[in-house]
């Protein structure tokens, strides 16, 4: 099954929420764990136990593992391996973006099913030009994986690039161009395509066409300020394709596994009820 098909099935089974695994130092301390590889390993193991086969999407943030060097990357590899094929889909948050053979290498590292760090989907940046992402889409297609492309992010610096107008005479913004090209890639796919956009829950308004026939990953939901009402207002007719992502709002319930599961279930119930 394509990533788009698997994502649709998982959302129907568990609800749309994506739970982030963000083991930053303050959260490790909150859980009573050392800010060390050992604390990282324990944190990740608890998250796997709590969320594997319980939610549709789990999103490890690579940077919080990479900061511990090679040993942290080993923990990330094991976390991905333990999560995959449990019913939960792994969206690895790496935001990679490069050109030529380097982009190809990144794609093979994260999307080739035989790679040690293979995920179900990854996040990428299009700001070296949308065409530079071709290796990611090609490798994803071969491996039934997914790609989420940054389009409209919530950070205050984002608009200076994302709202800029393209050099042609169309008047299209950079974000609008990204979304339109994703729609082209997903054209005709059912129940939806495998190539998604990243659109923040706290962007205020979305003047672009979000009908990309693909999944829309929406960070910023929950502790970062995004609400169910924001999601309903921003995404309207495409809300069935929306994957709201939260980390702190759920992870604050840890380290108790049952409490983490209950927190994730509450998020999904809130979202489904919307």
Find, among 252, 273, 248, the residue nearest to 22 by Cα: 248
Which two tokens mark 107? 């794609």
Cα dihedral across residues 191, 194, 197, 202: positive or negative: positive
Catalytic site residue from 24, 78, 84, 95: 95
User: 């990740």: which residue's tokens?
Assistant: 44
Residue 51 forms beta bridges with which residues? Answer: none
Q: Is 95 a catalytic residue?
A: yes
What DSSP letter does each residue of the chain carry, written as one string?
A: --HHHHHHHHHHHH-S-EEEE---HHHHHHTT--SSHHHHHHHHHHHHHHHTTTSSEEEEBHHHHHTTTHHHHHHHHHHHHHHTTSSPEEEEEEEE---HHHHHHHHHHHHSTTSTT--SEEEE--TT-GGGGHHHHHHHHHTT-EEEEEEE-SSTTTHHHHTSBPSSSS--BHHHHHHHHHHHHHTT-SS--SEEEEE-TTSS---S----SS-EEE--BSTTSB-HHHHHHHHGGGGGGEEEEESHHHHTTTT-HHHHHHHHHHHHHHHHH-
- Annotated active-site positions, please? 95
């Amino acid at each position: 099954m394509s990533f788009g098909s698997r994502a649709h099935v998982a959302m129907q089974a568990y609800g749309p929420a994506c739970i982030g695994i963000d083991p930053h130092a303050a959260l490790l301390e909150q859980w009573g764990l050392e800010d060390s590889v050992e604390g990282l390993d324990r944190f990740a193991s608890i998250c796997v136990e709590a969320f594997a086969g319980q939610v549709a999407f789990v999103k490890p943030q690579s940077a919080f593992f990479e900061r511990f060097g090679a040993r942290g990357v080993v923990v990330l590899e094991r976390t991905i391996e333990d999560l995959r094929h449990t019913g939960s889909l792994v969206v690895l948050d790496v935001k990679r973006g490069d050109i030529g053979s380097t982009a190809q290498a990144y794609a093979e590292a994260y999307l080739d099913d035989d790679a040690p760090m293979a995920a179900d989907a990854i996040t990428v940046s299009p700001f070296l030009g949308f065409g530079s992402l071709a290796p990611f889409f090609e490798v994803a297609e071969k491996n039934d994986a997914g790609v989420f492309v940054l389009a409209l992010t919530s950070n205050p610096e984002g608009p200076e690039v994302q709202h800029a107008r393209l050099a042609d005479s169309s008047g299209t913004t950079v974000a609008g161009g990204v979304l339109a090209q994703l729609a082209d890639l997903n054209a005709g796919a059912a129940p939806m395509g495998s190539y998604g956009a990243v659109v923040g829950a706290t962007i205020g308004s979305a003047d672009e066409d979000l009908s990309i026939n693909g999944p829309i990953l929406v960070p910023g939901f929950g502790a970062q300020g995004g609400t169910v009402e924001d999601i309903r207002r921003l995404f309207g007719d495409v809300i069935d394709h929306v994957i709201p992502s939260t980390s702190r709002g759920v992870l604050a319930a840890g380290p108790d596994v049952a409490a983490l599961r209950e927190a994730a279930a509450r998020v999904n119930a809130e979202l489904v009820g919307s």
